[in-house]
Structures are given as C-alpha cells and as structure tokens.
Structure 1
Amino acid sequence: MEYTIGKLAKLAGLTTRTLRYYDQIDLLNPSKTADNGYRIYTKRDVDRLQQILFFRVLKISPEVIRGILDYPDYDALSVLETHRAALREQREQLEEILENVEKTIAKMKGEYQMTDQEKFKGLKEKLLEENQEKYGKELMEKYGEKQLKKANERFSSLTQEEFEKAEKLSEAFTEALKGAAACGDPACAEAREACSIHREWLALYWGKSGLTPVTHLNLADMYCSDARFAENMEALAEGRAEFFRKALILYYDL
C-alpha cells in the first residue's frame, strides 16, 4: 500500500510538517514522487517510520536516529529487542510510581499506613533517569563510567533522613553563598562556610571516598562552563558560579 504525506501523517499520528522535516534531514525520504510532485510513501517507508518513532519514544534525537538506521550493520531485530527491554523497564518504573500514588491517596484517606521508605519508591529512579538524560554525557566525560555508576548507586540507596538532610544542606548552601557574595571576597569566612556545606551535601550523593578536592573542583568548573549546571547559582545572581569556583580553589588551597 502507498500513502501520500497527508495519509501517512494521519496513520502515524504526526503532522505533515514533521514528515517534511524528516525528509529535509534525510531521516525519512519518500520512495517515490508523483508526477504532480507529491511525496509517495511505500511499505518500506512505513516500516522505517515505525522504527523512527520507537527511537523517539526513548527520546533519541532525529539526527542520532538517522545515523543508527543508516548504519551498514544495523540489525532491526536486535534493536527492537533492546527497545522492548527499555520499555519494560520504563513500565516497571511507572507501575512503581503509580503504586506510590495509590498508597499516598489511601494514606490521605486514612485507609493505609505508609512507611517513609514507601514514600520514595519509584521516585529515586525517575530522578536518576532525568539527571542522566540531562547531564549524563558531560558527567561521564568528566568523571568516568565507574565513578558515575557508583554515585548513582549511592543516590538510589539514600534513606529518607539523608534526603531530608540533603535538602537542608542545599538550602543552607544557598544562604551561605548569598552571604559570601555579599562579602565579595572568595577567601572570606562566609565563602569557606559555603564550600564546606557544599562538600557535605555532595558527599551524601557521591560518598566520602568519591569526593576529593579535584573531583569537587571539576564540578565547580562544570558550573562555570555549562549553564545547565549553574542554573541554580546564576538564578541568585550573575557570576555566582565563577565566584564559587574561586572560593573552592582557596578552600582547598589549590
């Protein structure tokens, strides 16, 4: 069966604009062009579009998808099996979050006694996934797979008390950094306090063995070089990330 761009868009639940964009970037080119210039898509194109949308569900960019699908040794069956495993993992995670929501509702109605551990079931994994998606590449390059895996495992094992402590330390760090910036000197006592609090906060996630002056300063460098990492500091005042980096160098006497 053959499809015009409008019919294929309707079949796949996309817009014709999306299909034109896919054609423009050579992700999905129609196999035929009618005499009137209309794009005509064949069964082969439909199958490729299905593969594309499988990847898009996993939030992979169109440019990366194109490279994967056009790879000479691309194995559709193997990729689908990988997709299946990833989707099953997502389903399990969503089921855990749904169970958490249902128990929370029951707790609010007085029908269920919820433990503190249950309150965070499924949520840690979601936070890790979002962090990996947003910062994973940069963190992997900076710290390596082993250190990143260790940090993720540490985060997953945090107790509620440690979560609450991390929140309090985060708030304390914000206030301390404000005071240090008001002082204006990265060597002042307020700046040293901010560095100490930040170190204690980071140790909760990385573990004391994974936190060294060098790894701590590497993170401060990322705060300055990548705006996504610095967004919380820069929201307080422009230049706050660079001020903290200078304070950290003095704190460790590097």
Structure 2
Amino acid sequence: MAYTVNTLAKLSGVSVRTLHYYDDIGLLKPAYLGDNNYRYYEEEQLLMLQQVLFYRELGFPLTDIQKIMSNDGFDKIEALLSHKLVLKQGLDRTQELIKTIDKTIAHLRGKTKMRDEEIYFGFNSEKQKNYEEELIASGKVIKAQIDESRERVKHWKKSDWDKYKNDHENINNAFAGAIERNLDPKSDEVQRLVRKHYDMIKAFWIPNKEQYIGLGIMYTEHPDFRKFYERFHPKFPEYLSKAMKIFAERELS
C-alpha cells in the first residue's frame, strides 16, 4: 500500500514539513512521485522512517542518522535489537524514577520517612555533570558561572519554572515560524527574538560575546540540544546559532 505525504504524516505523527525536509536532505526519499507529482511512500519507507524516529528518540542528530542508515552494512534487525537494549536501560531508570515519586508522595503524606539520599534515586546526575564539564572544557563558561547559575535559581518555585518553560516554548515556536517564513536571521524581527532568548539566559548567567556564540554552536553540535530544538523545526539549531552569532557580534562585548 502506498501513502501520500499527508497520510504518512497523520500515521506517524511526523509533520509534512519535516517529511519534506527529510526528502530534501536525502534522509527519507519517497518510493516514487505520482503523475500528480505527489510523494508516495511504501512499506520500505515506513520502516526507514521508524528507524529515523528511534534514532531521534535516542538523541542522535540527523547528520549521524543519515550516515548510519546510508551505510551499506546497515541492518534493520540489528538496529532494532540495539534500540531495544538502549530503551530497556532507559526503562529501568524510568521505573526507578516512578518508585522515587511514589516514595516522595508517601513521605509528604506522612506515611513513610524517606532517607535523604532516596530523594534523588533515578536521576541522571552523571548526565548533568557531563553537561557542566563539557561547558567548562569548551571554554564557553567557567565553574564560577555554573555556581552562579545554581545560586540564582535555588529559591525558584514551581510557578517560576513553569513560567520559564512557557516563555521558552513561546520563543522557540516564534523562531520556528520565522524559519517557515524564510526570515533572515539578521532581520529586526528575528533579532528581537534573540534578545528575548538572551534575556532568558541571563536569568541563570550572563554570557559575553564569545560565550553566547559558543552556546549557539553547542546547540548544533550536542545531540541532546539538537534533539530538543529539532522538534520545533529540522533547521532550528543552525538557524538559532546563526542568529545568536549575529546578535552577539552586534550587541555584546
């Protein structure tokens, strides 16, 4: 059975815009183009898209996915077994987090008493530590700035974090809209968005020109950041990084 791009988008949850982009970069070509010039996808393409989604879920950037899947030795079954192993490891950690939630609820209701160390069972402290070490090693920030960031938000309440998350989401959606409208990153409208982005960063620490440019580069290079930003638009990381560089060179010292 063949599916149009619109039908595949509904079936997979991947937007038409993203499927077009995957076609443009050669990551997922349709099986054929119809007489009406519509893209049509068959089972082979559906399975390849599934592989793309698995790799995206595991944090791989699109460039790496393309290299892996275009390799002559790529085997779908071996890839699926590998995905299963990684997801199983993630499931184990998720189950630990669920146990921590249940214990915390019982603790807050006065039914049990948690040990202090139990409060953080299941959290990936190693991952956070790696982020910080990467930032320091890259020269983008210094340890004092990370300490400053912790100090600035240590008294934040849930409402503060919710507002930050909502504002961040709105800015990112606005950037995605700018990409769709083909706005130049140096345009006044986009640069106003970058100003809002910079002001949000300042809630944690105040980057100088080199650090803000470096942060933008990290958005394009680090798989976790790429995964986060590409959910707004496939071209988002590079677009934001370029806009941040323009802003930094104009406004920061």
Q: Give the TM-score taking structure 2 as reference length.
A: 0.54
Q: Structure 1 residues 107 and 24 mapped into 2: Cα distance closer, same or farther (>3 Å)?
A: same
Aligned to 1:129: 127
Q: Structure 1 residues 110 and 13 mapped into 2: Cα distance closer, same or farther (>3 Å)?
A: same
For residue 235 of structure 1, what is the amino acid of its counterpart? W
1:141 Cα deviation after fit: 9.8
For residue 81 of structure 2, what is the amino acid of its counterpart? E
Distance 2:137 2:80 in 1: 26
User: Equivalences for 1:118-197 in 2 at 5 Å?
Assistant: 118-123=118-123, 126-132=124-130, 134=131, 170=147
Aligned to 1:66: 66
Give secondary structure in 2 for the equivalent of 1:99.
Answer: helix
Distance 2:70 2:18 in 1: 19
- Residue by residue over 1:183-229, the C-alpha shift from the partner in whole angstroms, topping out at 9 and shown as x without a partner, is xxxxxxxxxxxxxxxxxxxxxxxxxxxxxxxxxxxxxxxxxxxxxxx
Distance 1:82 1:139 in 2: 32
Aligned to 1:110: 110
1:137 Cα deviation after fit: 7.3
Aligned to 1:77: 77
For residue 42 of structure 1, what is the amino acid of its counterpart? E
Q: Identify the structure with bigger relative contact order (alpha carbons < 8 Å, sequence gap 6+).
A: 2
Give secondary structure in 1 for the equivalent of 2:116.
Answer: coil
For residue 205 of structure 2, what is the amino acid of its counterpart? A
Give secondary structure in 2 for the equivalent of 1:110.
Answer: coil
Aligned to 1:86: 86
Distance 2:72 2:132 in 1: 30
Equivalent of 1:235, from 194, 201, 205? 205
Calculate percent identity across the aligned residue pairs.
30
1:239 Cα deviation after fit: 8.1
User: Equivalences for 1:242-253 in 2 at 5 Å?
Assistant: none
- Residue by residue over 1:98-155, the C-alpha shift from the partner in whole angstroms, topping out at 9 and shown as x without a partner, is 11111111101100111112111112xx2323554x578789999xxxxxxxxxxxxx
Give secondary structure in 1 for the equivalent of 2:40.
Answer: strand
Unaligned runs of 5+ in 2: 140-145, 153-200, 212-253
Distance 1:42 1:34 in 2: 13
Give secondary structure in 1 for the equivalent of 2:30.
Answer: coil
Distance 2:147 2:138 in 1: 25
Aligned to 1:251: none
Unaligned runs of 5+ in 1: 143-168, 176-230, 242-254
1:238 Cα deviation after fit: 3.8
Distance 2:62 2:208 in 1: 34
1:64 Cα deviation after fit: 1.2
For residue 50 of structure 1, what is the amino acid of its counterpart? Q
Q: Structure 1 residues 121 and 13 mapped into 2: Cα distance closer, same or farther (>3 Å)?
A: same
For residue 65 of structure 1, what is the amino acid of its counterpart? I
1:59 Cα deviation after fit: 1.6
RMSD: 3.7
Give secondary structure in 2 for the equivalent of 1:11.
Answer: helix
For residue 64 of structure 1, what is the amino acid of its counterpart? D
